[in-house]
Amino acid sequence: MLWYFLSSNSPLLMILLVIGDLGPYVSSECSVPLSPLVDIDCFSSPLAGVDYVGISRNLDFAPGVSQQTFRVTILDDLGQPVLEGTETFELILRMPMNGILGEPGKATILINDSVSDLPKVQFHDAMYMGHENSGQISVVVYRSGDISYRSTVRCYTRQGTAQVMMDFNERPNTDASIITFLPGEVEKPCVLSLVDDTEHEEEEELRLVLGSPRSESPFGASIGKQNETLVKIKDEADKAIIKFGETKFSVSEPSGAGQVSMVKIPVLRVGDTSKVSVVRVHTKDGSATSGEDYHPVSEDIEFKEGDTEHYIEVEILYDGVREMREAFTVHLKPDENMVAETQMNKAIIYIEETNSMADVTFPSVPQVFSLLQYDDTSRARNTPLVAGYPVVCVTACNPKYPDYDKTGSICISEHINDTLTRYRWLVSAPTSLDGVTSSMREVDFDTFFSSSKIITLDSVYFQVENTLSVN
């Protein structure tokens, strides 16, 4: 008798059948040689159609052929594994024609699923990422094989750059770290508790390991290849950040000579405050000029251990000039100690004019033209702006105004001097295809070759598709 051993997840069994001396059938000169015939049947304790595909067929040995190979298909219950242990069935040779049966005439096949269908646990992924301030990380443990039994496994920690008690709570390699799978359960969480402190730390890692698998099945349980997983802990919430408390401030210009106004700008530090940081703060001109509209500032701020807030004070001066709102900026430089990150590192300070110019009502609405069309605005009315050219605001009291022949007399009678007009330009993004418009934003800052407070606005401030407004 022959014995063949195979796992239940082996799809095919190859059987080699050998025939001995063919005697006169090989050398026969008969014109129609006779071929030996052998019947093969399968019968067994496992169920045909469930554990294997039963066969009953003839094997023909042509003259000169001494062996034949045939296949028996083994069925694997991969979709719903059931642990059955070792099962056997037999292959039998019978009813030979033109020959006799030799030994062995019977083969026993053993199907063993105690490995393939054994309850097996392993981590779902090779790496997990978590954040310290979340308090915990949930790692998925996956079970395969026959899940109709109750199974348990230990999920315990092994420290790396992350340390026990300082960064996480230990899961010891004891029964206190057991995860239990009830019958039918495929996934269970292994929860790792994190220690959330106030100190910022770089990315740290540790390992979670599976061990001591047990099952109520007669063959126990096993651990899969993914028996370890790497856990990485990020600590972005405790990262030290220095920033301005606000990005926009407004202050009124003093009302008289010799007086100053003060604007206090908070500089905040959030996150880890256990180390010393030094940042430089300085002002930069916009439409407001240092020395004329405000006293410039350039100084270092030192955040000592535990410090979370400092204030920068900037003096606003009286310049005696009637003008529209002006602005300058305050900037934060990077931390000299390279401990903290700087964010929101620019703040805009607007100086509001206390004695602003008296409002003037023009007899008609101003119009905006391309500077290329300034000499002939009557023709340029309702024509698009020319790309790349500055634009010019033409008031009703400007002789270039298209209807100046009607508005000019009114300007003269009202004593409106157009040369004293100050301009405030506003720009918005183009209207989208669905008709949504953006809010208008004031052009506050000058460049070294142009100003945003004069009759013209350089093309560096806008595109032809933008919406422009002036007042």
Q: How confident is the model at residue 278 (pLDDT cuts 50, 70, 90)?
A: very high
CA separation (Å) from 44 to 39, 89, 94, 111? 17, 4, 16, 11
| Residue whose token pair is 């026990």 | 164
Q: Enumerate residues 6+ apart whose C-beta is below 8 A from 338.
A: none
Give the lowest-confidence range in 13-17, 114-118, 152-156, 325-329: 13-17
Q: Is the pLDDT of residue 143 over 60?
A: yes
Q: Enumerate residues 6+ apart whose C-beta is below 8 A from 96.
A: 36, 37, 38
pLDDT digits (tens, 9 = 90+) for 144-177: 888 888 999 999 999 999 999 999 999 999 999 9
- Residue 118's pLDDT is 82
Element (H, E) at 296: none
- Which residue type, as a one-letter code, is found at position 6? L
What is the side-by-side strand order in the sheet with 260-270?
309-317, 260-270, 241-244, 341-342
SS3 state at 119: coil
pLDDT digits (tens, 9 = 90+) for 176-185: 999 999 999 9
Q: How confident is the model at residue 191 (pLDDT cuts 50, 70, 90)?
A: very high
Closest CA to 191 of 157, 150, 236, 228: 157
Q: Is the pLDDT of residue 23 over 50?
A: no
- 372 vs 200: CA distance, rounded Å: 59
Q: Is the pLDDT of residue 117 over 70?
A: yes
- Residue 44's pLDDT is 37
User: Mean pLDDT for the chain?
Assistant: 82
Q: How confident is the model at residue 302 (pLDDT cuts 50, 70, 90)?
A: very high
Give the lowest-confidence range in 98-107, 208-217, 415-424: 98-107
Span 253-273, average pLDDT = 90
Q: Is the pLDDT of residue 405 over 80?
A: yes
- 56 vs 194: CA distance, rounded Å: 64
- Specify whether the backbone of 4 is left (phi greater than 0), alpha (psi in -120 to 50) or beta: beta
237 vs 336 pLDDT, higher one: 336
CA 267 to chain centre: 31
CB 456 within 8 A of CB 462: no
Percent of the chain at pLDDT > 70 equals 83
Percent of the chain at pLDDT > 90 equals 39
Q: How confident is the model at residue 364 (pLDDT cuts 50, 70, 90)?
A: confident
Closest CA to 104 of 16, 13, 14, 36: 16
Q: Is the pLDDT of residue 15 over 60?
A: no
- Which residue type, as a one-letter code, is found at position 12? L
- Residue 436's pLDDT is 67
Give the lowest-confidence range in 113-127, 195-209, 305-319: 113-127
Q: Which domains does the chain have, with CATH numbers?
A: 1-24+43-117 (no CATH), 120-234 (2.60.40.2030), 241-353 (2.60.40.2030), 367-457 (no CATH)
CB 220 within 8 A of CB 151: no
CA angle 213, 218, 221 (to 5 degrees): 20
Give the lowest-confidence range in 42-51, 326-335, 447-456: 42-51
- 91 vs 121: CA distance, rounded Å: 36
